[in-house]
């Protein structure tokens, strides 16, 4: 079950092995790859402050959205305890989308 998560985390990092990739503002807005590029540049001794600022802002927003989504899902006891007998897509449609209407 964690295989797709590992792939989603490792694939952007694989692209960092290519030395031609530069730390641009566009890549600074791409979660996961932006942090790796930022560290690669910092280790090399290059500090591009605008890109570092973009990276930190994007990561803060991404973390806030992930925490909000986790808090929303954890409100339902049957999903947390495994008593829900459907898929996450079905749960999302029935519980999360129904409350927003």
pLDDT value at residue 19: 79
**Residue 51 to residues 5, 34, 36: CA-CA distances in angstroms?**
26, 9, 12
Q: In angstroms, rounded to a whole number, what is the distance separating the alpha carbons of residues 30 and 33?
A: 6
Tokens at 35, concatenated:
């942090």
Place of tokens 């500090």: 47
Exposed / middle / buried, residue 61 (Cβ in 10 Å: 0-12, 13-18, 19+):
exposed
* Whether the predicted model's global pTM rises above the 0.75 cut: no
Mean pLDDT (10-residue bins), the chain, 101 residues: 82 77 90 86 91 95 92 78 72 70 52
């Amino acid at each position: 079950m964690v295989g797709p998560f590992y792939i989603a985390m490792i694939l952007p990092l694989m692209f960092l092995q290519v030395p031609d990739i530069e730390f641009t503002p566009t890549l600074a807005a791409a979660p996961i790859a932006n942090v790796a590029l930022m560290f690669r540049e910092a280790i090399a001794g290059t500090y591009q402050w605008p890109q570092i600022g973009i990276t930190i802002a994007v990561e803060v927003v991404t973390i806030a959205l992930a925490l909000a989504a986790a808090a929303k899902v954890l409100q339902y006891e049957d999903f947390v305890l495994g008593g829900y007998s459907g898929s996450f897509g079905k749960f999302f449609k029935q519980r999360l989308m129904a409350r927003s209407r």
